Structure 1
Amino acid sequence: MNATIVMTNIELLANQKISYDLPKHPYIAILAIYSQSVTSEWQSICSDWIVKSEQCYWALAWGHECSIWDDALDYAYLEFCNYDLPEDDDYNFMTTWHEDQTLDEVIEFAKTYIASPLEDSTLEIILINIQ
Structure 2
Amino acid sequence: MKQPETAMHMREGPIDISLPIYRHVDPDGALRTLAARAPFRAVIVAEVPVTPAQQNRISDWLVAEGCLYAMAWGVAASSWDDAIDWANIAKFSGTAVPESGFVMTTWHDEETLSEVFDYAVRCAIHPTEALDELIVVHVAGSADPGRIQSAYRAVRPRDHKEHP
TM-score, with normalisation over the residues of structure 1? 0.83
**Relative contact order (C-alpha < 8 Å, sep 6+): which is higher?**
1
Deviations 1:4-27 (A, max 9, x none): 454111111122221242523321
CA contact (8 A) 1:8 1:126 kept: yes
Separation in 1 of the partners of 2:98 and 2:46? 31
Separation in 1 of the partners of 2:131 and 2:16? 5
Aligned residues: 126
CA contact (8 A) 2:78 2:107 kept: yes
CA contact (8 A) 1:5 1:122 kept: no
CA separation of 1:113 and 1:14: change in aligned 2, threshold 3 A? same
TM-score, with normalisation over the residues of structure 2? 0.68
Q: Which has the larger radius of gyration?
A: 2
More strand by share: 1
Can you give the 5+ residue segments of structure 1 that lack an aligned partner in the other structure? none
**Equivalent position amino acid for 2:43 in 1:** I
What's the CA shift for 1:57? 1.4
CA RMSD in angstroms comes to 2.4
1:63-82 matched pairs, under 5 angstroms: 63-82=74-93
Corresponding residue number in structure 2 for 1:97: 107
What's the CA shift for 1:87? 3.1
The percent identity for this pair of structures is 28
Deviations 1:19-70 (A, max 9, x none): 242523321000000012x1221111100001112x2110001100011111
